[in-house]
Structure 1
Amino acid sequence: MPRSLPPVAWFRAFEASARHLSFTAAADELGMTQSAVSQQIKALETRFGTELFTRKPRGLALTDAARKLMPQVGSALEMLQAATLALDGPPEAELLTVASSVSVASWVIAPHLRDFHRRHPQVRIRFASAIWPDDFQSAMADVEIRFGSQRQVGQSALPLEPSELVALKSPMLEGKLEDLPLIESVGTSVGWDAFGAAHGLGALRPRLYVDSYGMALQLAAGGSGVALVTALLGRDAVASGQLVPAHPGSLAPREGYYIAVRDTVPAARAFADWLDARLKQG
């Protein structure tokens, strides 16, 4: 049985890094942190079992494996972009388009969507899954919920709270945090090592790696381990009893979720105000 393909996000990080010969320049282009790009490259190298870059004091150099991979990855990403633009046309005149990650749509918006429809029955919503800058561009959304730093998402975007990182697990999973399987989201700047250092727990080593907070929460809810995620995504699961804190402490993040609204669209402002009110209810 053939092995599953690595995430497209890893290939994006590789292609941008190979083109710029710099993790920093690739991070700026993709709207990510340099650390996140480096982690995704390391994950891809681990998956292939070979180095793709030679790290030098003043930049990067492609290995032979990377030179073979680069043209095929570039061509594949161009085909994906063309296919997306061909099918993802402009939104309909009276349709509100909300662009966000699947994690935000599933864990933050979905639990309360019925309330929004009750308050605004005339508004139809189209959700567009978006993570990367070009995803948001092609979505042409009225509301954008992005992940990153304030500098990356733009000064006009407003932060969504709570943003601190918390450790969550299934109520069926028992044991001390240090003894449980830890789940870490690749692509963020702060992880279990920082959490352990902040709370005197020593070196905490993850056993499971995922590419989104949403997947980390899903695994935690299934009893597979403890997820270190933003409190924004986990609050409703905790309120419903689906997840419980695995440790009383929290950790300040370096990135968070931000919302930007097209103010010329009344429904967009109504959605943003509704979401803000729901989050402030605690």
Structure 2
Amino acid sequence: MYSSRLFASLAKGFLWMNNTTYFTWSVHPLCLCWQGLQVRWYSLFLCLGWIMAFLCFDRQTAHLQLSPYRDQMKVFFFLFFLVGARMGLLLETKRHFACFDLFSLEEGGLVGQAGGLFALGGAVLGHFTYQPAGVSLFLLLDWISLSLLPCLVFTRLGNFFNHEVLGLKTTSCLGIIFKYAEYPRQIHPVHPVQLYEIFGYSLGYFLVQKITDKKSPQGMFFGRLCLTLGCIRFVLEFLKEDSERGFPSLGQWLSLVFICLGLLFQLRRKSLYKASCSSDKET
């Protein structure tokens, strides 16, 4: 039904100005509808983000002979992320759930921060399971954090196309009306928090890369990135509609975990330096 209107929707649906001087986003959330198969923009962008993140991870480790380890770590990371993100969603929406709800297709959605915490746990577990020579846990965390920007950006871009993860109502010129948001949210202009996060995460990555050089101890990039992105996410949560449920929101609780993790790495600089030096000697 919607596949025949796809290109027309894209042509006229990208941000156009309406009579109230607010932008209206009118691209339909479905990018493909064929013989009962429905594919949303969010699913497409999520897949693209993970593919690009894996390619970045492969590029980071291309100079090392780690093909089996590299593939195993990607599987660990993705599976733990998926389970954690689903658990985060179910905990956010209802307190009691069955294990099979994690794999239910009827109740879609993910909580990326919860998935990220689980994925880090999976990376740690995978690292100590396979223990590759010359690769410390801190170095692995740096590789992972250096590779995740495409996943973060494309996930939020998918939310934007899906008319979800909306901000609070606003009368500023930044407000956008999301045509296909759930009623009554499609009536009022809201903050496009998805785009704010894309800009914030990209800027955060740029700044952390600028202040972290090759002489920095292993794990320092990961720690600084957790601290920076955690602070950005914590602040932007105040502009989301979830903030109306009370403070702090689930996103802010999870942001605090990343902030504390980043602070821990910052406070343990000497330990990180010693660990990186010992790792370099082993290689």
TM over 0.5: no
TM-score range, shorter chain: under 0.3
- Higher relative helix content: 2
TM-score (ref. length: structure 2): 0.26
- Higher relative strand content: 1
